[in-house]
Amino acid sequence: MRKFAAVAALAVATIATPAAAQGEVRAEARGGIVWAEGDSEGTLGAALGYDFDLGETAFAGVEVSGDKILAEGADMVFGTTARLGVKTGDAGKLYGALGYTFENDAFYDSVVLGAGYEHKLSDSIYVGGNYRHFFSDFIDYDAAYLSVGATF
């Protein structure tokens, strides 16, 4: 429960960022594949985040997420992630990610390291893709996601 409270607090802080800060709120839906030791499963999820401008070519961001591995008996996995990246022209963002994910019974708690790219299709709609590696005490695993999102 303490972990859920920490994620909820981060979500509120993300949404309540002062208007004076340059950046944007983003919400996305994503789907992909998770694999480890020769097995793979589909996954669906969502994320809510905020990216802060660090000048004209760089940004930093935070997000909270929930992902469901589409295997019978799999729990919802929640996460918090920090992003640091560069803007690639007017429409793209290339970033590295570092975070932590957890599940209710702590079986798959993991430190997460990844990278991704987002490309704006319009002023408020983007598509993206990212890869993440999960460093777990039980078993390391990998995931690749495709996403569609909106910025506000």
For 83-94, what is the HEC assignment?
EEEEEECCCEEE
* pLDDT at 108 > cutoff 80: no
Q: Residue 32: what pLDDT?
A: 98
CATH number at residue 23: 2.40.160.20
Q: Averaged over 93-116, what is the pLDDT?
A: 89
Q: Residue 97: what pLDDT?
A: 98
Q: Averaged over 139-144, what is the pLDDT?
A: 94
Q: Averaged over 105-121, what is the pLDDT?
A: 89
Is 86 in contact with 101 (CB distance < 8 Å)?
Answer: no
Contacts of 13 (CB under 8 A, 6+ apart): 62
Higher pLDDT, 14 or 110: 110
What's at 48, amino acid-wise? L
Distance separating alpha carbons of residues 24 and 51, to the nearest angstrom: 5
pTM (2 d.p.)? 0.84
Domain hosting residue 122, numbered range: 2-151
Number of domains in the chain: 1
Distance separating alpha carbons of residues 89 and 101, to the nearest angstrom: 31
